[in-house]
Chain A
Amino acid sequence: MSSISMRALTREFGSTRVVDRLDLDIESGEIFGLVGRNGAGKTTTVKMLTTLLPPTSGTALVAGYDIRTQAAQVRRVIGYVPQALSADGELTGYENLLVFARLFDIPRAERRRRIADALAFMELTDAAGRLVRSYSGGMIRRLEIAQSTLHRPRALFLDEPTVGLDPIARHAVWQHIVKLNAEYGTTVALTTHYMDEAEALCDRIAVMHKGAVVAVDTPQGLKARLGPDASLDDVFAHFAGGSPEGDGRYADTATIRTTADRLG
């Protein structure tokens, strides 16, 4: 059964078509990667699927709900971790979770246990009482994933989950994503431009280029298309290549830089 299905999903900004008639099905329980260069339309796609941005045309179903006409229902069954570091540095880890437990209507009697479970799952129990601004980048990411999964969403959207993290922190975040998917069966849709990340995590990958999907397959399948010795980097260069200039809006690059800076 598919958890997310996009039907001719399109978004234009002025006369620029940023997402071009996407028809993708993401299966229930799958970890699915949207890869592509900066400006390929990955984040815009995620913003539409998370109801932050209405499509110009076409639509998508998330857990059976239409993002255009049933946005409120969609918001109940999804979790979302934006690309920028979105945990509140002025609050403790516990408080960051508490506010979302309330917004997700988790009953008062259950809140404490749910938050404790989420902290333990992400190995943040000892840091729960500290202000988040004292956390490392990897800890913040794990906290954000905890925040967005407190209500046990059917689909979790992660936009560039490890941008700016050091290799050890990245691996820790990957492990937790895999564990979450294995234990709760959460469908995970993530965007990345790191091919090692896509390979380590994703059951299937869609390569986006200039707003359109140019290839969808398992990592093995994509590599096999190019030859026996091809790496996923080769796949990326083949499908999303082109000139080094031209892609990536100023704002995208600025957000990535800011995120990387904040992660130190």
Chain B
Amino acid sequence: MVASAAAFARKTLAIADMEVRRLRHDPTELLTRALQPALWLLVFGQVISRGHVVDTGDLPYLDFLVPGILAQSVLFIAIFNGISIIWERDLGIVHKFLASPTPRAALVLGKALGGGVRALIQAVVVVALALLLDVRVRWDPLGLAGAAALILLGAAVFSTFSLIIACLVKTRERFMGIGQVLTMPLFFASNAIYPTSMMPGWLQVISHLNPLTYQVDGLRELLLAGALPPGVGLGVDFAVLASALFVLVLISARLYPNIAR
């Protein structure tokens, strides 16, 4: 039992390490990905902030927005993981992994962890932008470590989710379509750019079922120094994301072999 758990962890890390090595060989992707959050903060954030359109209590709107945009960029990176699995299937890479003695869940989790590392690097960019915009960040080592953990967890949730979609739709073209259809609603039906309290009742319900809401909620608490709007608490945030991940890994480990057939 212990030996097989160690082997599982080892193989998960081997897959994640491979993803990180790829990124090291070609880091240009990180730069291009930084553009989107920069636009959201520098353009959208500034405009909405000046117009005082969104009521965020005593917290400046830009402060409120930073964790939301951080979570959004994690979401977009993670959703991209699904398309890479289709690409790897077309190249035969997936087949070779599946024919090796690697537990399916380790393949899924390793890939998710690789997405998490990309997301962490993105987080550094977003926080740097936030500092430029005078957002008051809480410089507490424990808070930062917690935020890093939450980013990894959130990235893993959405990577695994996108892997499930990839296993179901199987072609790049279909995935591109569905990816768009899923990411935007996940983003808008969350508390990322406006508080849940501003939403109509039906949207509030959806927002409470959306894992992204819990990631944003946790990140606000861990990263911001100002007066926060009431949240659900870190315990709930972590618990919701961890349970979502558990269920999604179980489902995707079952579906993953289908992609090679």
Of the residues A52, A91, A92, A104, contact of B257 by C-beta under 8 Å: A52
Q: Is the CB of A52 within 8 A of B95?
A: yes
Identify which of residues 60-100 in chain B touch chain A, using a CB-to-CB cut-off of 8 Å.
90-93, 95-100
Q: Is the CB of A104 within 8 A of B101?
A: yes
Residues of chain B contacted by A91 (CB below 8 angstroms): 18, 21-22, 25
A58 at the interface (CB under 8 A from B): no
B134 at the interface (CB under 8 A from A): no
> What is the number of contacts between chain A and chain B, taking CB atoms within 8 Å?
77
Chain A, interface size category, equals 20 to 34
- Give the distance to chain B from A224, nearest Cβ to Cβ, in Å: 36
With contacts A52-B257, A102-B10, A105-B7 taken as known, whether A258 is within 8 angstroms of B100 at the C-beta atoms is no
**In whole angstroms, how far apart are the Cα atoms of A147 and B18 in the complex?**
14
**In whole angstroms, how far apart are the Cα atoms of A258 and B15 in the complex?**
26
- Give the distance to chain B from A71, nearest Cβ to Cβ, in Å: 10
- Give the distance to chain B from A190, nearest Cβ to Cβ, in Å: 15
Task: Find the A residue at minimum CB distance from B22.
Answer: A90
Interface flags for B15-44 (1: CB within 8 Å of A; 0: not) read 101100110011000000000000000000
**In whole angstroms, how far apart are the Cα atoms of A50 and B261 in the complex?**
12
Task: Find the A residue at minimum CB distance from B93.
Answer: A86
Interface flags for B225-261 (1: CB within 8 Å of A; 0: not) read 0000000000000000000000000000000010011
Q: Is the CB of A99 within 8 A of B92?
A: no
B14 at the interface (CB under 8 A from A): yes
With contacts A91-B18, A102-B11, A105-B7 taken as known, whether A47 is within 8 angstroms of B101 at the C-beta atoms is no
Question: A residues engaging B (CB < 8 A)?
Answer: 47, 50-53, 72, 75-76, 78, 80-86, 88, 90-92, 95, 99-100, 102-105, 131, 144, 147-148, 258
A80-B99, A85-B91, A104-B100 known; 9 new pairs, CB 8 Å cut-off, are A51-B99, A80-B95, A80-B96, A83-B92, A90-B22, A91-B21, A91-B22, A103-B101, A105-B101
24 contacts between A and B (CB under 8 A): A47-B95, A47-B260, A50-B99, A52-B260, A53-B261, A75-B100, A82-B95, A88-B18, A88-B93, A91-B22, A91-B25, A92-B25, A99-B14, A100-B96, A102-B10, A103-B11, A103-B14, A103-B100, A103-B102, A104-B101, A105-B7, A144-B96, A147-B96, A148-B96
